[in-house]
């Protein structure tokens, strides 16, 4: 089975520029997560989708970050404008979560963003 696909793997941009990341989850996985992982820290949940609806975006800086999951499959995460502190690895994960089943999240390789 194909894993979670993310692109690009690496991105370098200047502050105040915009950037977008793409994620294709494992086929059939209803739940999709975007995490931000700053160097030396654990992943921090930015946004969680169930199909194409948002379940949790409480830690998403909505003044500059946005995400969508059209048709409940692929997802994009956008930053506009970027700040230096946005330098991090952005991880996408997905899980198959029917009722009563404890989900196991599968992760992509991540996108390493450097803002200069």
Partner 1 sequence: AQSVTQLGSHVSVSEGALVLLRCNYSSSVPPYLFWYVQYPNQGLQLLLKYTSAATLVKGINGFEAEFKKSETSFHLTKPSAHMSDAAEYFCAVTMGPYGNNRLAFGKGNQVVVIP
Contact call for residue 28 and partner 1 (CB under 8 A): no
Residue whose CB is less far from partner 1, 42 or 63: 42
The answer to whether 28 touches 95, Cβ cutoff 8 Å, is no
Closest CB 5 distance from partner 1, rounded Å: 11
| Strand-pair partners of 13 | 115
The answer to whether 31 touches 97, Cβ cutoff 8 Å, is yes
In our burial notation (b when 16+ CB lie closer than 10 A, e otherwise), range 20-56 reads ebebbbbeebbbbbbbbeeeeeebebbbbbeeeeeee
Contact call for residue 25 and partner 1 (CB under 8 A): no
Contact call for residue 12 and partner 1 (CB under 8 A): no
Closest CB 108 distance from partner 1, rounded Å: 5
Q: Which of 40, 63, 70, 71 binds partner 1 (CB under 8 A)?
A: 40
Q: Which residues bind partner 1 (CB under 8 A)?
A: 4, 31, 33, 35, 40-45, 48, 50, 55-56, 91, 93, 95, 97, 99-110, 112
């Amino acid at each position: 089975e194909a894993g979670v696909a993310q692109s690009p793997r690496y991105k370098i941009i200047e502050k105040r520029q915009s950037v977008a990341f793409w994620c294709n989850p494992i086929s059939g996985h209803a739940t999709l997560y975007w995490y931000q992982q700053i160097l030396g820290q654990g992943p921090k949940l930015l946004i969680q989708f169930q199909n194409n609806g948002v379940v949790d975006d409480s830690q998403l800086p909505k003044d500059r970050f946005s995400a969508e999951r059209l048709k409940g499959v692929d997802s994009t995460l956008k930053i506009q404008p970027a700040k230096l502190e946005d330098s991090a690895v952005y991880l996408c994960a997905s899980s198959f979560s029917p009722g009563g089943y404890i989900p196991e999240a599968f992760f992509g390789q991540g996108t390493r963003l450097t803002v200069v």
